[in-house]
Amino acid sequence: MSVLIRTLVLTACAAVVAAPAFAGGDDYDANNDEEGKGPAYFGFVRDHRGSPVSEAQVTLKPKTGEPVVLKTNVLGLYRSHVTKEVAPADVEVSCSKTGYKQAGVMRRPGQEQDMHIETNCTLQRL
């Protein structure tokens, strides 16, 4: 192997080793959530067949205060916080995307006192 090719191969290998790899393609580390931000709201947006819907808009709307609007990633995953002053029971989660309508929202039961609130949305193509 020539010195140039060997150098290129070693450089490419070093770049791969240096780049962090995350299961599921996401860098989210729930253990590093800051408690001062309040509960972490997270979940998936999927279509009616179970496929992830990327770039879907997710709205976390508290009864009082400003809503939090965010987008899903390529896996259909979203996560965010509202504020620590808002009780999880007072936050409505909805999702939307052009060309779809919301078909359902399901919050995993028994999380009102938890710091991680999972709510999944289902969208149906129009």
The residue extents of the domains of the chain are 34-125
Higher pLDDT, 58 or 115: 58
- Digit-coded pLDDT (tens) for 30-41: 555 555 578 899
**Whole-angstrom Cα distance, residue 98 to residue 103?**
14
Neighbours of 52 (CB within 10 A): 15
pLDDT in tens, 70-118: 999 999 999 999 988 888 889 999 999 999 999 999 998 876 677 889 9
| Mean pLDDT (the chain, rounded) | 79
User: 34-125: what CATH class?
Assistant: mainly beta
pLDDT at 62 over 80: yes
